[in-house]
Amino acid sequence: MRIEVDRNRCEGHAMCEAAAPEYFSVDDEGVLTILTEEVPDSDKAQAHGAVLSCPVAALKLLSR
């Protein structure tokens, strides 16, 4: 699976970072960085939870 962000929607709430800090980082100005786009099957549930935590639905998990 691969993480994708819609930068036009992202507001920097950092809920994704709180749920999966090894995949997401939000700086002091609210800019999201995806640390690792590819998600192994073993982390699929954690990444999915982080995507669902986004209050503005700016994140997606896509099949490889």
Q: What is the pLDDT of residues 29-43, one digit of tens each?
A: 999 999 999 999 999
Ranges of the chain with pLDDT below 50? none
pTM of the model: 0.90
Check which CATH number belongs to the domain holding 27 and give it: 3.30.70.20
What is the tally of structural domains in the chain? Answer: 1
State which residues form the domain around 37.
Answer: 2-62
The candidate with the shortest Cα–Cα distance to 35, out of 43, 46, 25, 26, is 25
